[in-house]
């Protein structure tokens, strides 16, 4: 059964348009309370479950937080409010505090006028498809209200950020510190603005900050992991050793070295895999996605490490890791999973793992990636009309076949719908940048014409 509301990372959309409206989010809180928190079963035991709600810095977070809180209360679920905190912080606290579920109000890397809701189960994991389907089914049921004596209550979790800061620091080797290292930390005016700088500072680094002045409207605006030029400029300007960019909810990471070179999730996965081999011995495999650069797959294979590709979305990377009983996986966008450190992708923890790998090896990131020359990729987002049936288009099929014929084994074509936006993503990977751009633009034009 297809999901109607949930995409690859929760429910997301433009604020004020379905489904990101106060009335829908109220019903969503009630439905999630019934399914996730098992409110009915807890009531039979004479107690109430508790969920944690965190959010990023979007102005709409206030409205959606209130709607969610009301929905959970009506379902007989108590609520803890963490305020602005990174998405992985909610995952950690849900697990650490033995709560029934965690909820994040965020649209991640999207602009401020978008927002979304994503859930974590009691063990700090993103929800599997079947649970999301149960919540969607509950949304179709009439919404009622628990008796007054069973209504949920709400309270602030005042030390949420402090608890999470200590958790992040605990993932860095106790024998290491960051003294003598000058870091630029870009928090995208998002959820990590008051957390990430403290983590790196308390571990000993000299920290220069950008993107730490949220006003409700500037999240991801020209800063953060999706706009790394600001970080590159700041690293050079302050002559820093390295720069760290997070996105709006701080679950993805981009890193810049002292020369201004940018490293994406594919490259950082390669660094972390080799660090694990150096410290723990041989590892069997790692998980990437359909978008993972072929050069990384080839380089890992030379080192005896199998790369398995999952569908795009860190939830699917996680599924493959569990399926294979592995711990390391990543997306090129910067979602990095290290399951022996955290249950979900965490930009701060991932940065600490990379810094530990650099410190342990005594080499720079560039040196750690010698011999890995990424294949040029060109990605074009094509907006689609609602309900456009792009899969059955003969014109699109012909354009893809022609590009694949010319590329042969020296590149590939990938077309997929976004799980978070109404767009079709056209990606071409080729041995030369010219070929990647040419084929991507040709296919994108055909897609645009066929789906208009």
Residues at the annotated binding site for Mg(2+)? 108, 247, 249, 251
Residues 6+ apart with CB under 8 A from 363: none
- 112 and 216 in contact (C-beta within 8 Å)? yes
Task: Look at strands 114-121 and 11-14 and give their pairing.
Answer: antiparallel
Active-site annotation holds for 73: no
Q: Residue 369 forms beta bridges with which residues? A: none
Rounded Cα distance, 170 and 174, in Å: 8
What backbone torsions phi and psi does residue 364 show, to the nearest 5 degrees? -80, 165
Please calculate the CA angle 163-167-173 and round it to the nearest 5 degrees: 150
Nearest to 316 by CA among 283, 338, 350, 287: 287
Alpha-carbon Rg for the chain, nearest whole angstrom, is 22
3-state secondary structure of 413: strand
Residues at the annotated binding site? 108, 247, 249, 251
Q: Which two tokens stand for residue 88?
A: 């992985």
- 423 and 381 in contact (C-beta within 8 Å)? yes
Cα–Cα distance list, 362 to 174, 275, 356, 365, 366 (Å): 17, 12, 10, 10, 12
3-state secondary structure of 401: helix
For 246-269, the DSSP string reads E-TTS--EEEEETT--EE-HHHHH
Q: Which two tokens stand for residue 22?
A: 């106060």
Q: Residue 242 forms beta bridges with which residues? A: 183, 257
- 51 and 101 in contact (C-beta within 8 Å)? yes
Give the dihedral sign, CA 320/322/323/327: positive
3-state percent helix, strand, coil for the chain, nearest multiple of 5: 40, 20, 40
Residues 6+ apart with CB under 8 A from 415: 390, 396, 400, 424, 425, 426, 427, 443, 447
Please calculate the CA angle 435-269-298 and round it to the nearest 5 degrees: 50
Straight-line distance from the first to the last Cα atom of the chain, in angstroms, rounded to the nearest whole number: 27
Marked catalytic residue, from 60, 70, 73, 108: 108
Residues classed as catalytic:
108
């Amino acid at each position: 059964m297809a999901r109607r509301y949930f995409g690859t990372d929760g429910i997301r959309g433009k604020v004020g348009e379905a489904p990101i409206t106060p009335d829908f989010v109220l019903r969503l809180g009630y439905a999630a309370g019934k399914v996730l928190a098992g409110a009915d079963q807890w009531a039979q035991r004479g107690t109430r479950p508790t969920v944690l709600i965190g959010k990023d810095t979007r102005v709409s977070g206030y409205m959606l937080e209130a709607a969610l809180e009301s929905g959970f209360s009506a379902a007989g679920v108590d609520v803890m409010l963490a305020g602005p905190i990174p998405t992985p912080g909610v995952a950690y606290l849900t697990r650490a505090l033995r709560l029934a579920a965690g909820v994040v109000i965020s649209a991640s890397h999207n602009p401020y006028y978008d927002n979304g809701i994503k859930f974590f189960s009691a063990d700090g994991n993103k929800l599997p498809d079947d649970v999301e389907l149960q919540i969607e089914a509950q949304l179709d049921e009439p919404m009622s209200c628990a008796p007054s004596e069973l209504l949920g209550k709400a309270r602030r979790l005042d030390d949420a950020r402090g608890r999470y800061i200590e958790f992040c620091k605990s993932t860095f080797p106790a024998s290491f510190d960051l003294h003598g290292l000058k870091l630029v930390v870009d928090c995208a005016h998002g959820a990590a603005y008051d957390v990430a700088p403290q983590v790196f500072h308390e571990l000993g680094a000299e920290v220069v900050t950008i993107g730490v002045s949220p006003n409700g409207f500037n999240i991801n605006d020209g800063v953060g992991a999706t706009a790394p030029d600001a970080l590159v400029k700041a690293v050079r300007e302050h002559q820093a050793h390295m720069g760290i960019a997070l996105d709006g909810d701080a679950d993805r990471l981009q890193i810049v070295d002292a020369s201004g070179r940018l490293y994406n999730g594919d490259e950082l996965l390669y660094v972390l895999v080799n660090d694990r081999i150096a410290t723990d011995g041989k590892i069997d495999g790692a998980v990437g996605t359909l978008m993972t650069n072929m050069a990384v797959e080839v380089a890992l294979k030379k080192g005896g490490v199998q790369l398995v590709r999952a569908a795009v979305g860190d939830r699917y990377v996680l599924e493959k890791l569990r399926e294979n009983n592995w711990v390391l996986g990543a997306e090129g966008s910067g979602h990095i999973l290290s399951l022996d450190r955290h249950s979900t992708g965490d930009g701060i923890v991932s940065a600490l793992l990379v810094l530990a790998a650099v410190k342990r090896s005594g080499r720079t990131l560039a040196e750690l990636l010698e011999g890995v020359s990424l294949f040029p990729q060109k990605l074009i987002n094509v907006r689609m009309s609602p309900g456009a049936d792009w899969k059955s288009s003969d014109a699109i099929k012909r354009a893809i076949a022609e590009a694949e014929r010319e590329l042969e084994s020296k590149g590939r074509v990938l077309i997929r719908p976004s799980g978070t936006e109404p767009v079709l993503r056209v990606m071409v990977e080729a041995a030369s940048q010219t070929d990647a751009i040419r084929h991507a633009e040709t296919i994108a034009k055909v897609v645009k014409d066929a789906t208009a």
